[in-house]
Amino acid sequence: MKRIIYLAFDHLHRDFGALKQANSKDDVIALVESARMTTGRNWHKERLFFLISSARHFAQSLREEGFTVEYVKAATTIDGLNIISDKHQSLPIISAEPSSFRQFAALKEYGVSFVENDFFLTPRSLFHSWASEQKSYLMESFYRKQRTRLNILMDGKEPIGGAWNFDKENRLPAPKKYDGPPYLEHQRDEIDREVGVELGHTLTTNWATTRTGALAQMKNFFDNHFAEFGPLEDAMTTENWALHHSLLSPYLNNGLLHASEVIQAATDAFHSGKVPIESAEGFIRQIIGWREYVNGMYWFLGPDYRNNNQLEAERPLLPLFTDPNKTQMNCIKETVSDINERAWVHHIPRLMLLSNLALVTGTNPQEFLEWMREVFIDASEWVMVPNVIGMGVHADGGRMMTKPYAAGGAYISRMSNYCKPCKYDPKLRTGENACPFTTLYWDFLDRHKETFAKNHRMSQQVFGLNRLKDLPELKVRAQEVLKGLELGQI
């Protein structure tokens, strides 16, 4: 039977989703570049470029395979599907289950039928059964189950290496003067140039826009970075923009790579004996643990979860998030500049700098979420919502994480080289040179001490707060810092 196969821009894999069983004789492939996706918000141009150019390259590869491909630009996805459906005698439309509640509802209402979304290793129903049995949704418990279920890095029932995690080995600070192997540069072709011109975007070589490029990126990671991934995975340094991170999230999220391919390559590299267990475990945990857990939680927690604001944080987004010249905090200036350049920083700047700042300043979670969605190359609704609302700013009252990831300047100073040239001193909590993170960390604990007093995992922090002799002075400084941040002067 002839069909239209609707291909969302995050389903770009020939062997998964609705394309898995497609045949070029009968099926029409539909891709829609909707204005909703490209305009109306302050999307990072690098992000738009990556998504659109990848989709156009993928469409081209399907045409080369003999498919009839309809790639249309329209106001919305549904408008685009209308155009394609009119042209093809209203054939039935099928799609892999979309990756957000909003798209799911819109396509369902339009009459699209779905095949299971197999872009993850864990079916949504399987995650739901796991989560339904939990008192608290600990990622660690989910991860151990995944290791056993998928039989990855296992020796019978025991984890290879004798431990489930190697956090102690994997928390090294930033090395001094660290070059590391070079990153892959991705060459541009005619399609890239066409998209660049349409977007008014100066082309960079950071991100691949083809399956071949994504595979080359994966190979580069496993050949040159994997062995050192673990120990430095939390470190931050201005001397090296990605250290040994894989830079694979954009391709995993738009479908150019599938998690099973990345895991296969990781386990092959480990079993070849070239990679220590702490790096292999640390990386595999990210893919079969965190990534799957976050996706599962998005579907489990439901569409209203994104609106949580249980700490009643109402401050508008600070100007420093959009303009690094609006702050003298070196860590934030460097991080926002990096994002402006590449639409990417690794998980620790996302969590311990950007989200931490939003958390301790009481920035409105939804405003912060929207900004994060706009600026990151790999941002999608399913991944940003749990990461920001649950993990980043603790806006869900602890449903996902048992305690907030709030930290003062001491953590940042230990894990990075940001603090030495900074105007502020991470050790000081009061006075003009006090590190804003340090001041606001204590102020945050004080503002929410009644809520956190009930949380036994926070008792040490609350105990520390109660022993502060200079709390009144600190509260005054905190107000100055908040005002200065609002004005873009701190």
Ligand X SMILES: Cc1cc2nc3c(=O)[nH]c(=O)nc-3n(C[C@H](O)[C@H](O)[C@H](O)COP(=O)(O)OP(=O)(O)OC[C@H]3O[C@@H](n4cnc5c(N)ncnc54)[C@H](O)[C@@H]3O)c2cc1C
- Which residues contribute to the site for ligand X (CB under 6 A)? 245-249, 252-253, 286-287, 290-291, 294, 346-347, 350-351, 355, 376, 378-379, 383-384, 387-388, 391-392
Picked from ligand X, ligand SF4, none, the partner binding residue 346 (CB below 5 to 8 A depending on kind) is ligand X
> Do 380 and 102 meet the contact criterion of CB atoms below 8 Å apart?
no
- Shortest distance, position 474 Cβ to ligand SF4, whole Å: 15
- Shortest distance, position 352 Cβ to ligand X, whole Å: 8
CA distances (Å), origin 32, targets 10, 54, 411: 12, 13, 45
Residue 401 sits at the vertex; the CA angle it makes with 405 and 460, to the nearest 5 degrees, is: 55
Picked from ligand SF4, ligand X, none, the partner binding residue 308 (CB below 5 to 8 A depending on kind) is none
Size of the site for ligand SF4 (CB under 6 A): 14
- Shortest distance, position 251 Cβ to ligand X, whole Å: 8
413, 417, 430, 439: which one contacts ligand SF4 (CB under 6 A)?
413
Picked from ligand SF4, ligand X, none, the partner binding residue 419 (CB below 5 to 8 A depending on kind) is ligand SF4
> Do 119 and 13 meet the contact criterion of CB atoms below 8 Å apart?
yes
Picked from ligand X, ligand SF4, none, the partner binding residue 249 (CB below 5 to 8 A depending on kind) is ligand X
CA distance 443 to 477: 9
> Going along 26-124, which residue ranges are E strands?
28-34, 68-74, 93-96, 113-115
Picked from ligand SF4, ligand X, none, the partner binding residue 248 (CB below 5 to 8 A depending on kind) is ligand X
Residue 364 sits at the vertex; the CA angle it makes with 362 and 365, to the nearest 5 degrees, is: 105
Picked from ligand SF4, ligand X, none, the partner binding residue 236 (CB below 5 to 8 A depending on kind) is none
Closest CA to 136 of 402, 316, 430: 402
Residue 24: burial class (beta carbons within 10 Å; 0-12, 13-18, 19+): middle
Task: For residue 406, state whether it binds ligand SF4 (rule: CB under 6 A).
Answer: no
Task: For residue 305, state whether it binds ligand SF4 (rule: CB under 6 A).
Answer: no
354, 435, 478, 485: which one contacts ligand SF4 (CB under 6 A)?
435
Three-state SS letters, 143-198: HHHHHHHHCCCEECCEECCCCCCCCCCCCCCCCCCCCCCCCCCCCCCHHHHHHHHH
Task: For residue 418, state whether it binds ligand SF4 (rule: CB under 6 A).
Answer: yes
Task: For residue 419, state whether it binds ligand SF4 (rule: CB under 6 A).
Answer: yes
Q: Residue 4: enclosing H or E segment and its boundaries?
A: strand 4-6
- Give 434's DSSP letter: B
- The smaller minimum CB distance to ligand X, of residues 346 and 448, is found at 346
- Shortest distance, position 445 Cβ to ligand X, whole Å: 20
Quick one: angle between helices 471-486 and 436-447, nearest 10?
110
Picked from ligand SF4, ligand X, none, the partner binding residue 426 (CB below 5 to 8 A depending on kind) is ligand SF4
> Do 277 and 285 meet the contact criterion of CB atoms below 8 Å apart?
no
- The smaller minimum CB distance to ligand SF4, of residues 236 and 383, is found at 236
b/e map of 285-307 (b: 16 or more CB within 10 Å)? bbbbbbbbbbbbbbbbbeeebbe
- The smaller minimum CB distance to ligand SF4, of residues 218 and 419, is found at 419
- The smaller minimum CB distance to ligand X, of residues 294 and 360, is found at 294
- Shortest distance, position 22 Cβ to ligand X, whole Å: 26
Task: For residue 422, state whether it binds ligand SF4 (rule: CB under 6 A).
Answer: yes
- The smaller minimum CB distance to ligand X, of residues 388 and 419, is found at 388
- Shortest distance, position 324 Cβ to ligand SF4, whole Å: 13
Instruction: Tell me, rounded to whole angstroms, the distance of Cα 116 from its chain centroid.
Output: 23
235, 412, 474, 481: which one contacts ligand SF4 (CB under 6 A)?
412
Picked from ligand SF4, ligand X, none, the partner binding residue 208 (CB below 5 to 8 A depending on kind) is none
Task: For residue 331, state whether it binds ligand SF4 (rule: CB under 6 A).
Answer: yes
Pull the structure tokens for residue 95: 């799609």
- The smaller minimum CB distance to ligand X, of residues 93 and 372, is found at 372
| Pairs from 452-458 (Cβ < 8 Å, separation ≥ 24) | 455/398, 455/402, 455/403, 457/402, 457/403, 458/403, 458/404
- The smaller minimum CB distance to ligand SF4, of residues 93 and 329, is found at 329
- Tokens 């290791």 locate to 147
* Start-to-end Cα distance in the chain: 64
Binding site for ligand SF4 (CB under 6 A): 329-331, 409, 412-413, 418-419, 422, 424, 426, 435-437
